[in-house]
Structure 1
Amino acid sequence: MAYDTSNPLAETFEFGGSSPITTFWIAFLRIVVGWWFFHAGVTKLVESGLNYTYGPAYLTEMGGTVLGPLAVWMGTAIPRFIAAIVPLAETLIGLALAAGVAVRLASAGGAVFMAFFWVGNAEFGHGVVNGDLMGLLLFVTLILLAAGRYYGLDAIIERTELVQQYPRLKYLLG
């Protein structure tokens, strides 16, 4: 009986896909996650402006978690910055994802937010696998799949002369 002895790992492996349904799904996922964060940010901006006081309060309550020292420092040393940056960053991350601009950079920012949310809810009343972890995984998925290249502006930006001259910019795009 003959069998294939070739190494399957020797072939080029890429995440994502080229089928129309796969590219549509990746773009749809990016837009939905973008709407999620845009809505969260805009709601905070409408209600509190750039003075979202729950942000610093949330961080100072994270003392008993893995990120506790950093979170407590952020909540006490730079509370005005945190109060302003939370709604602004959520809004900008959402807009970037929805438009497909600098998707990897925006997704990295979203992953940081979700890591703080996940660790901040360290009692894990809904288990370790909860909505915050799912959000974190969504952002990591968008990074790995270079989701901005699918019906997003990153696909256009990556063809510009600037990106061609500085190809490392693609690490922020896509």
Structure 2
Amino acid sequence: MATNELDTTVLNDDVTLSLSGPWVAYWALFLRVLVGYWFLHAGLTKVLFGFSAAGYLGGASRGAITEPIMQVFANGALLTFTNYAVGWGELLIGLGLLVGAFVRLASFFGGVLMFFFYFTNHGWANGMTNGDLWGLLLFVTLAILGAGRVWGVDGYLEDTEFVREHRWARYLLG
């Protein structure tokens, strides 16, 4: 078995899934554009029309396992930082994913945001499996698949002399 194939049995039939095939590339592109649009739209809305996490961090955090941490960010300079970081962070993450630039870096920070959104969910009123968890899983998937190489800027950036000479830079791309 090659390292880019998955051998399994489905309904008593042996099945080999080629992870380097075109359908995986199309799926990675679809996920990247979908998540990129999701975050670009969320970020643009916050940046253009204003956003404050004060209500969420202050009032909605009651009963959350992270309430003590959230209360620290609920007012003052840390609230201002949070409002700025969430709006602009979502916008830049979404833009990076849409054009396929620095996809692993964007996916890392998108995953960090989704991690915080998930664990600050007050009491998981809608269950442990929610949109924040699925968003986190999507960001991890995009990072693993190197989705920026499929019709994205990362495919071109990886061919530059700088990236060839500095292998660590490839961890930001993909």
After TM superposition, the score normalised by the length of structure 1 is 0.82
- Which of 69-78 and 163-172 deviates more? 69-78
* Pairwise CA distance, 1:57: 3.7
Superimposed CA distance per residue, residues 1-41 of structure 1 (whole angstroms, 9 cap, x where no aligned partner): xxxxxxx6xx6458983211210110111010000000001
Match of 1:74 in 2: 73
More helix by share: 1
- Which of 72-81 and 127-136 deviates more? 72-81
Amino acid corresponding to residue 105 of structure 1 in structure 2? L
Give structure 2 stretches of 5+ with no counterpart.
Answer: 7-17
Match of 2:46 in 1: 44
Q: CA RMSD for the aligned pairs?
A: 2.2
Match of 1:3 in 2: none
Give structure 1 stretches of 5+ with no counterpart.
Answer: 1-7
- Secondary structure of residue in 2 paired with 1:71: helix
Q: Quick check: 1:27–1:151 contact (8 Å CA) kept in 2? A: yes
CA distance in 2, matches of 1:157, 1:28: 21
CA distance in 1, matches of 2:121, 2:147: 28
Superimposed CA distance per residue, residues 32-82 of structure 1 (whole angstroms, 9 cap, x where no aligned partner): 00000000011112211xxx22x2442345365444444333334512121
CA distance in 2, matches of 1:150, 1:17: 14
Q: Quick check: 2:157–2:163 contact (8 Å CA) kept in 1? A: yes
Match of 1:31 in 2: 33
Q: 1:63 to 1:153 in 2, by over 3 A?
A: same
Amino acid corresponding to residue 163 of structure 1 in structure 2? V
Q: Quick check: 2:63–2:123 contact (8 Å CA) kept in 1? A: no
Q: Quick check: 1:56–1:82 contact (8 Å CA) kept in 2? A: no
Q: Quick check: 1:148–1:155 contact (8 Å CA) kept in 2? A: yes
CA distance in 2, matches of 1:29, 1:111: 14
Match of 1:138 in 2: 138
After TM superposition, the score normalised by the length of structure 2 is 0.82
Alignment of 1:100-139 (within 5 A): 100-139=100-139
More strand by share: 2
- Secondary structure of residue in 2 paired with 1:75: coil
* Pairwise CA distance, 1:91: 0.5
